[in-house]
Amino acid sequence: MPSMRILSWNVNGLRAIYKKGFVDWLIKDRPDVLCLQEIKAAADQMPAELKELPGYLTYFSPGTRKGRDGVALFTRTEPLSLEYSLGFEGLDDEQRAIIADYRDFLLFNVYFPNGKASKERLSYKMRFYELFLDLMERLLAEGRNIVICGDVNTAHKEIDLARPKANEKVSGFLPEERAWIDRLLEHGFLDTFRIFHSEGERYSFWDTKTRARERNVGWRIDYFFVTEGMRDRVKSAFILDDIYGSDHCPVGIEIEIEDETEDEIEDETGIEIAVQN
C-alpha cells in the first residue's frame, strides 16, 4: 500500500509563523497533508505565497472572531469533497474545522475550544465535545474510517503534562475533560502516539510567558486519533518538538492508504485555491 504523511500544527497565527520561515520548513518537510489550527487571519490577510505553493491545494477557513480561531488545510492529494462546518447549531460559528473526504477515510482537522477563559467558555467547550462525539457515533455507525487531528486543548493522562498535580483544577486537565477523551477511545478510536510511545516528557505545547519550552514543562494536547480498524495501517506517530515558531509544535502520523485515493498533484500544475469566507 502507498503511504500518506499527515501533520497537524497549531501555528498560533499563520501570518506570524509565515515570517518565521514556515514556507521553507513546509517545502523541506513536504508532508502529504498539513492541517493547521488557530490561523488567526481573514481570507484577505493571507500572504499570497501561501495560496500558490507548488504541489499543494490550499484551503482556508478563517475564524469569525477577529484575530482568533480558524483552520487551514494544505494537501498534495485533492479530497473527494470538503466541508467547513461540523453542523453544530449555535456552536459552529467559530470556524473550527475542515473535514476532507479522501474516499479511503474522512480527515477531521479540528481546533477544539479552550475552556480556561471563563466558566462560559468551559461550558462551550464541553458542549462542543459532546456534539463532536455524537457526530463520531453517527459516522462510525456508517462504517467510515476516520482520522481526527488537531489541538484538543486537553491533556489526557498524567503522563501527558509535566505538572499534573498543579493543574488538576485547571481547564485542560479537568476530570470531565479527560473523561471525554476516555469516552472517545471507548467508542473505538486510538490515540496514535500511544501506540508507539509509552514514555513521558513528550509534549506538543509549552507556555511562552514562562519560557517553559526551555525547561520542557509542557502539555501533550495535540493529537491524532484513528478508528480501530485503521490500527494496522498506522506505520508511525510522532511529535516534531524540534520545530519552532509557535507555542505548539507539529505532530504527525504516517498511514497506509488504499490505492483508489487520488494521485498527488504535480508541481507544474496550476494550484486551485479554495477560500472559505
pLDDT for residue 272: 37
Query: Which of these, 166, 170, 132, lies nearest to 152 by C-alpha position?
Result: 132
Active site residue 151: yes
**Which of the residues 32, 104, 151, 191 is marked catalytic?**
151
C-alpha–C-alpha distance, residues 84 and 275, integer Å: 10
CATH assignment at residue 38: 3.60.10.10
| Beta strand pairing call for 106-111 and 146-151 | parallel
Percent of the chain with pLDDT over 70: 92
| CA dihedral for 113, 88, 134, 149, sign (positive or negative) | negative
C-alpha–C-alpha distance, residues 193 and 203, integer Å: 11
Bridge partners, residue 161, by sequence: 219
Q: Is 238 helix (H, G, I), strand (E, B) or coil?
A: strand
How many domains would you assign to the chain?
1
- Does residue 8 carry a pLDDT above 80? yes
pLDDT for residue 41: 86
Taking only the tens place, the pLDDT of each residue in 20-40 is 999 999 999 999 999 999 999
Taking only the tens place, the pLDDT of each residue in 59-105 is 999 877 776 789 999 999 999 999 999 988 777 667 899 999 999 99
- The grid coordinates listed for 165 are 498535580
Mean pLDDT score of the chain: 91
Residue with the bigger pLDDT between 117 and 46: it is: 117
Taking only the tens place, the pLDDT of each residue in 153-196 is 999 999 999 999 999 999 999 999 999 999 999 999 999 999 99
C-alpha–C-alpha distance, residues 141 and 85, integer Å: 20
Domain housing 245: 3-275
Q: Is the entire prediction scored with pTM above 0.75?
A: yes
Quickly count: other Cβ atoms within 10 Å of residue 101's Cβ.
14
Query: What are the start-end ranges of the H helices in 142-199?
Result: 175-186, 192-196
What's phi and psi for 57, nearest 5 deg?
-90, 140
